[in-house]
Amino acid sequence: MKIEGEESRCYNLLMVESKLIFYLNGKKQEINTENIKDFSLLDFLRNHLRLTGSKKSCSEGDCGACTVVIGEYSPIEKKVVYKSITSCIYPVYKIHGKHIITIEGLEENGNLNEIQQAFIENHAIQCGFCTPGMIMSMLALLLNNPKPDEHQISKALSGNLCRCTGYQSIKNACVQVSGKVYKKPEFISNTENQLKEIEKDLHFKANFPNSPVKEYYIPSSLNSALKLLEKNSLTIFNGCSDIAVRINKAEASFEKVLDISGIKELKQIKLQSGKVKIGGNITFNEFLKFAERNEKLKAIKEFFEFIGSNQIRNIGTIAGNISNASPIADSVIFLLSADAELVLSSSKGKRKVKLTDFYKGYKQIDLNKNELIEWIEFEIPEGEISFLKTSKRKEVDIASVNSCVILKLKGRKIKDVAISFGGVFPYPIRIFKAEEYLKGKEISRKLIEKAAEICKSEVKPISDVRGSEDFRKKLVYNQILKHFLKLTPEVFYE
């Protein structure tokens, strides 16, 4: 049969792929998709490949016991980068064209890797259940940064829980390894030339009963993705850090999925004329690396470091955090205050939507079925930025209330201010009434307290396991005071 035209070519490519091709601990693997009976990478490793070093526990990406390392070519870095990820919430189809490194791959010629040896020497192991995940998190850090400091080690381990050993012993082991420049294992170096950007569109069909996803599309270009969205009813997957939890815990299922994580046009981040443009595939950690190189973005970096864990930030995307429409979406709190806009694309063209207009109700967004988020755009704020998040855990936890204030003063007069809150409404919100009250006025403690009262009266929180309605309203009031105490401490001591 003769196939003509770009659209036909696109669908033909999507239908021919029948193998999952990847590297596993330095060895190339080709597996017919009809033999894949698992959805998550963790289950695939344990059930299909019998690699049981990666442990199964929370199935939410919170404990880190299932951590493995993925090597993939980064179009941003123009080289192979390594990421620690929680394999329990990572769809197995995503590993196509990547290098998967598990705890079993670290021994060489019967000898332990130096990270493993350091854990033994520092008594950093008791029951051992969490140990493989800890070691893999440390490996990912060392592969990207051969001589990390103690702060970087702590951040790398922030997504790994230990119930019995004690974190100081674990940290001591990691510090010992970081005391000298870490040498990349040979089997990892040898695969780097083989890892390139995926240029082929992929289409996998699940071949096992009760699969949570029946058909899984991974286009490599924006054009292919938009044509698929135009012709099919598809659920968009990207990082899957939230949606995979729904699959694991709530047994959610999806007929057809469009995984946009392979679209190279969306894997871009730019700074042009004071405006930041974040592509729809940019992860939290990719944004953090970008922010580190830009002095004006360092205040933003401080907050984004506490979103999720290192493993979650390696897979979770900012666009996904926005479109998930969670009332406490951490990145959205800043983006609302920064007056961000979204560029939404379909096969019929593009349109811009202000983020403040994007949310229509609980889990309701202004995104048509044939559209995806191509860009997130905002101007670098001129004022000072403050973030607050009240949660039981500092990292890897959902906030009871989170908020952001961006304040620009001229002398003692408030020239401009933006106030955003999460966890207090069906979706993240700007408190415009409080902003208008503050603008143009001379700052004082009394003025701030009145603004806090306005914010408290504007929110409509619910009562749930993370706090009662009254508790959340008190948090709103107190967080406004804390923001201004941080930004204008002199006002509170006059």
Q: Name residues whose C-beta falls within 8 Å of residue 318's C-beta, 6 or more positions apart in sequence.
A: 278, 282, 283, 284, 287, 331, 335, 376
Task: List the one residue out of 106, 86, 89 whose CA is nearest residue 161.
Answer: 86
Residue identified by tokens 């946009």 is 260
Beta strands in 5-75 (DSSP E): 19-24, 27-32, 67-74
Q: Strand order in 67-74's β-sheet?
A: 27-32, 19-24, 99-101, 67-74, 79-86
Enumerate residues 6+ apart whose C-beta is below 8 A from 410. Answer: none
Q: How many CB atoms lie within 10 A of CB 288?
A: 19
Selection from 489, 272, 274, 278 nearest residue 381 by Cα: 274
Where on the phi/psi map is residue 137: left (φ > 0), alpha (ψ -120 to 50), or beta?
Answer: alpha
Tokens 């003063």 sit at which residue? 409
For residue 190, report the phi and psi dihedrals to the nearest 5 degrees: -65, -20
Residues 353-370, buried b or exposed e (16+ Cβ, 10 A)? bebbebbeeeeebebeeb
* Domains of the chain from N-terminus onward: 6-103+191-264 (3.10.20.30), 107-184 (1.10.150.120), 268-493 (3.30.390.50)
pLDDT score for 180: 86
Task: Give the pLDDT score at 10.
Answer: 41
**Tally of CB atoms within 10 A around 73:** 18
Contact 241, 33 (CB under 8 A): no
Q: What is the pTM of this model?
A: 0.92
* 432: its two tokens: 């415009």
Sign of CA dihedral 462, 465, 467, 468: positive
* pLDDT value, residue 7: 41
Each residue's pLDDT expressed in tens, for the chain with a length of 494 residues: 333 344 444 433 344 457 899 999 999 999 988 889 999 999 999 999 999 999 999 999 999 999 999 999 999 999 999 999 999 999 999 999 999 999 999 988 889 999 999 999 999 999 999 999 999 999 999 999 999 999 999 999 999 999 888 899 999 999 999 988 898 999 999 999 888 766 678 899 888 888 999 999 999 999 999 999 999 999 999 999 999 999 999 999 999 999 999 999 999 999 988 899 999 999 999 999 999 888 878 878 878 888 889 999 999 999 999 999 999 999 999 999 999 999 999 999 999 999 999 999 999 999 999 999 999 999 999 899 999 999 988 778 889 999 999 999 999 999 999 999 999 999 999 999 999 999 999 999 999 999 999 999 999 999 998 899 999 999 999 999 999 999 999 998 87
User: Token pair 């004006």 is at which residue?
Assistant: 296
Q: How far apart are CA 396 and CA 306, in angstroms?
A: 8
